Structure formats: C-alpha cells, structure tokens
Structure 1
Amino acid sequence: LSPSELASLPHSIDIIGDIAVVEVPEELKHHEPLIGNAILEVYKNVQAVYVKAGRVEGIFRTRPLRCIAGIPKEETVHKEYGCSFVLNVNKVYFSPRLLSERQRVVSQVKAGEVIVDMFAGVGPYAIRIAKATNAKVYAIDVNPEAIRYLKRNIELNRVQDRVIPILGDSRQIILSELINVADRVIMNLPTQAYDYLDAACSALKKEGGIIHYYEFTREAFNLEASKERLSKRIQELGRKVLGVIYAGRVKQVAPRTWQIVIDVKVA
C-alpha cells in the first residue's frame, strides 16, 4: 500500500465475537482481500472479516455486510462484562462500541426497578441489567430475528425470571400492555426515539422515572438544543421534566455526526 492509501485505511474495526466488521473507503476497495487478511493476522481470535456494504437501514437497523476474508460465518458469540450474546451480524443490530455506555446505564439501576427497553435488539442492555441487579426488564423489539436471539441469550445468561422478551412495535406493546409500569425507559433507537416519546412517557410510572434517550446530532448542533427539544416534547406530552441528569456524546457515527444520550428525570 502507498503512504496515501495507508493514511485512508480504516481506523476503527468492530470486533463482534470472532467476527471483525470494517469500513473500507472507496479508494481502497481493490485492496479488500489484503486488508481482510491483515486483520486476520493482527486479531488472532477473528475468524471472519466483513466489510460494511451499505448503511444501517430500516426498522430492523440492519446493515448489508460482505465477507472479504476468513470463513464466511455470520453467527457468533460476543462476550461483554460476563454476559454472552449469540447473534447473527447480518440479521440483527449490535454495536460493541456501546460497551461503556451500557455500563453507564447498568450502574444506575437500583434493586427492584422495572425497566422497559423499547428497542432491545439481542438484549445487551436488558441482559446486562438483569445480571447486575434483580430488576425486571421488558425487552421489546420489532425484528423477529432479534427476539429469537434475545430468547436464546436470556437462557444462556440464566435471566429467564427477570427479562421478558416481547416481539412487536414498542408503541403498540406499551399502549396495550405496559402503561405506567416502568421506573426507567431505554430508547436506543437514535433515528426514531423522538417519535416514540409518547410511548416512553406512557410506560413510566405515574410518579415518574428516568428516560435514557438517544439521538444523532451534527457536530454544530449542541447538546443544549437537544436537551431543550426533548424537554419541550415531554412537557407537551403531559409530563413534567424534573431535570437532565446527564447529557453527552456516545460515539461518532459519521464525519461530524454523533450519537448522543440524554438521561432525563420525569414526573
């Protein structure tokens, strides 16, 4: 590779179990096998290298991937803080980069809480919370594959008594089954969380609770503006905002685009 090609090499590699997922810039597409084999050399536990072949899209949040090196396997077991997650990288959404963000949320949960995880995926928040505390978690996802893996992961991590997997649209599920049950609501669907705030507010207990709200913002778009927009919407929905407990950047998702989180206390 030339010096200029080396400079544009992907800097971030997502390791999910024994699968590596990498973004290769257009100008290096012809070097994909070389890059893939180099990753296999460096990361000895990696068996397959996939390149991102498109954007995260649709309600299932999946991204097309293409194998460029190793064994073309899609299913893996990812370990995080003593929990194991079986998943298929092509069929479900999973981000290993949210490791410390998940830990930040898990560490806030108190014994006996009831939590609604509105976009649960294969259960990284729900299962980690259930393993760390005796909290009860309603884990909802619209993707049948995510729920299939979530059920496997609930058994694998022995939290059957604490995590309830539910397939469906979280708004419909909450409005029909989970009104005023939650001390805490997790909204990790940055593209649509704002549109689901009505359901999140309905899920919270009458006396209120915490919402962990995620969205994408441009770098120039500051946290204050996001906090104001969120607080205004919650108040429009008939709830009272007692305060923002925390607001910060979670990860960069594209040039000048960040995923942010706002923890808001609601009455």
Structure 2
Amino acid sequence: MLGRDKAALLWKRIDIIGDIAVIKKPIHGGVSIEDLRLVAGELLRRLPHVRSVWLATGPVGGLFKVRRDLLHLAGEKRTSTVYREHGAEFLVDISKVFITPRLSFEHLRVARLVKPGETVVNMFAGVGVFSIIIALKSRPSKVYSIDINPDAYRLMIENIRLNRVEDVVEPMLGDSARIVSESLRGVADRVLMPLPDLALDYIGHALDALRGRGWLHVYLHVDYERGKGHLRRACKLVEAEVERRGWRVVEAKARVVRSVGPKLLQVVVDAVVRRDG
C-alpha cells in the first residue's frame, strides 16, 4: 500500500465530478502509475457512487481549455456524467469541457451578489454552471452565456433545458469579443470573466458590454509569496486595464479562489467600474 505522505498528496489532487473521479498527476513526489491505479481501486471500493477513475496527465489547455491527456485508471471507461451543484444538474464530458467542483463556493457567491432585474454577461460560460446557478438562485432579467467551445455550447443548451431556465439564460456560441461587439454592447449590469488566461486581455470587451457603470468579476492567476500583497497586485492589474480604456474603478476587492500550482493562486477581483466623462 501507499505510505501516508503519498496518499495525502494524491487525495488533495482528486476531483469528483458526478460519478467520475479525476486525479491530477503530481508534478513530483515519486508517484508511479501503479500507485495511481492502487488509489483508483481504493476510490471505487470506498466511494460506491464513483464508477470511473481517470488520470489527468497534462494541464488544462488549448483553445477550448480542456483537460488534456486523460488516462483511464479504473472502473467504467467513460467520460460523460451528471454533475450536481447547489440544486442544479449539469451534463458534462470531462474529455471535452472543463469543470471542477473546486469552484462550487464561487458559483454560489457570485449568484448571491446578483440583484433582481440585472442583466449579466458571462463571457466564458463553459457548460453554463455560473449562468444557470445565477438564474436559479437570483432574479436576473437575462443572462447571456457565451462560449467558444462547440461541445460546451451543446451541453450548455441541454443544461439550460434540464434546469428549466430557458426564459432567463441565452446560450451563445463564439468568441465573446466578437459577440459583445456585434450584439451585446451596453446591455449589462454585471460581466463575468472566469477564464484567467484571457481575462485581462478581454477587459476592454467586458467594458463594452456594460451600460456605463457596473460590476466586473475578473479571474486571474497570480504568483504567491507570503507578505507580497498578491490580492492588492491583482486589483492593480485590473485597475490599470480599466483605466487604460477610459473607465475608472470605483471600488475593488479580491479574494483567493483556489491554489492552482506551486506558489500560483487563482484569485477573483470584484470591481465596480464607471465610464469617465
């Protein structure tokens, strides 16, 4: 069997998505494929609701930001499942879309910030988790839910129907910069940008979507060093991009969402912005 240190290392790197477990391969720690198969078998034994175990051997990446290089370890050899969160159900395929239960708190936190009657633009919606939970937990007038990944878009449509929010959530396929420019200029009270790789580059398009004043929720990756002010740094990055485009940050605060690597954090900046002039 595995030693305590190896077992603890691996347990921290397991995501359970519906009835599928995904183990993110440690960068170091002397863990072999045989070790991982032992863990996979133990997961199936101890957690009866888990039916399939996969190893993510590479990082999330590519144009559609999906888990690359999945290796089947144990159980049923399938990648599709039903993921449940905050009373909602989502059809997902871990080989075609990105989803993680580690954002569960964040989905509900943002939904609770949305005020009745708001129009929300979600620029990187995936299978629609943020969008649908907002529709279910708040009272927005409309949530425009955009993704460039055709598989995510197809699943998003099914999830909107499954959760009966067709009257609120509008799925849109394509690059959010183009969609905002062509269809959604000046419509939003709040814009979500839950894709750290593109968030700063797309702030100009997010501002175009706002009516003139509103909220941005900007997700970023920042390096972490104790005492180095990583949250303040994240706010400054967003402020600089906003001001460069003739807008002003009225208020901003940041919080850590999760750890994504050695000394690397995902943070979110919640900012109220206003167009100058």
Task: Please state which band the TM-score falls in when normalised by the shorter chain.
Answer: over 0.9
Work out the CA distance in 2 between the residues paired with 1:23 and 1:195. 28
The answer as to 2:41 corresponding to 1:37 is yes
Alignment counterpart, residue 219 of structure 1, candidates 224, 233, 241: 224
Work out the CA distance in 2 between the residues paired with 1:193 and 1:129. 20
Deviations 1:88-117 (A, max 9, x none): 010001111100011110001111100000
Aligned to 2:54, the other structure's residue is in SS state strand
From the superposition, tell whether residues 6 and 109 of structure 1 become closer, same or farther in structure 2 (CA, over 3 Å): closer
Residue identity matched to 2:40: G
Q: Where does residue 200 of structure 2 map in the other structure?
A: 194
Q: Where does residue 158 of structure 2 map in the other structure?
A: 152
Work out the CA distance in 1 between the residues paired with 2:57 and 2:271. 36
Instruction: Compute the displacement of 1:23 (Å).
Output: 2.0
From the superposition, tell whether residues 164 and 39 of structure 1 become closer, same or farther in structure 2 (CA, over 3 Å): same
Alignment counterpart, residue 263 of structure 2, candidates 250, 253, 256: 256
The answer as to 2:240 corresponding to 1:232 is yes
Q: Which 5+ residue runs of structure 1 have no aligned equivalent? A: none
Instruction: Compute the displacement of 1:134 (Å).
Output: 2.8
Instruction: Compute the displacement of 1:31 (Å).
Output: 2.1
From the superposition, tell whether residues 205 and 45 of structure 1 become closer, same or farther in structure 2 (CA, over 3 Å): same
Residue identity matched to 1:194: L
Assess if the C-alpha contact under 8 Å between 2:124 and 2:194 holds in 1: yes
Q: What is the TM-score normalised by the length of structure 1?
A: 0.96
How many positions carry a matched residue from both structures? 265
Q: Which 5+ residue runs of structure 2 have no aligned equivalent? A: none
The answer as to 2:106 corresponding to 1:101 is yes
Aligned to 2:178, the other structure's residue is in SS state helix
The answer as to 2:55 corresponding to 1:55 is no
Deviations 1:175-229 (A, max 9, x none): 11100100000000011100000100000112x1000000001112611122112
Q: Where does residue 205 of structure 1 map in the other structure?
A: 211
Instruction: Compute the displacement of 1:32 (Å).
Output: 2.4
Q: Which moved more, 1:208-217 or 1:28-37?
A: 28-37
Deviations 1:95-145 (A, max 9, x none): 111000111100011111000000000001000011122311000000000
Q: Where does residue 81 of structure 2 map in the other structure?
A: 76
Work out the CA distance in 2 between the residues paired with 1:140 and 1:6. 39
From the superposition, tell whether residues 5 and 236 of structure 1 become closer, same or farther in structure 2 (CA, over 3 Å): closer
Assess if the C-alpha contact under 8 Å between 1:10 and 1:24 holds in 2: no
Residue identity matched to 2:18: G
Assess if the C-alpha contact under 8 Å between 2:10 and 2:23 holds in 1: no
Assess if the C-alpha contact under 8 Å between 2:20 and 2:53 holds in 1: yes
Q: Which moved more, 1:172-181 or 1:31-40?
A: 31-40
Work out the CA distance in 2 between the residues paired with 1:11 and 1:233. 35
Q: CA RMSD in A?
A: 1.3
The answer as to 2:27 corresponding to 1:19 is no
Deviations 1:136-173 (A, max 9, x none): 10000000000000000000000001000000000000
Work out the CA distance in 2 between the residues paired with 1:21 and 1:123. 20
Assess if the C-alpha contact under 8 Å between 2:24 and 2:56 holds in 1: yes
Aligned to 2:157, the other structure's residue is in SS state helix
Assess if the C-alpha contact under 8 Å between 1:84 and 1:153 holds in 2: yes
Residue identity matched to 2:31: E
The answer as to 2:129 corresponding to 1:128 is no
Instruction: Compute the displacement of 1:55 (Å).
Output: 0.8
Q: What is the TM-score normalised by the length of structure 2?
A: 0.92
Instruction: Compute the displacement of 1:2 (Å).
Output: 4.9
Assess if the C-alpha contact under 8 Å between 2:106 and 2:257 holds in 1: yes
Work out the CA distance in 2 between the residues paired with 1:219 and 1:102. 23
Instruction: Compute the displacement of 1:8 (Å).
Output: 4.2
Instruction: Compute the displacement of 1:63 (Å).
Output: 0.9
Identity %: 39
Aligned to 1:160, the other structure's residue is in SS state coil
Residue identity matched to 1:146: A
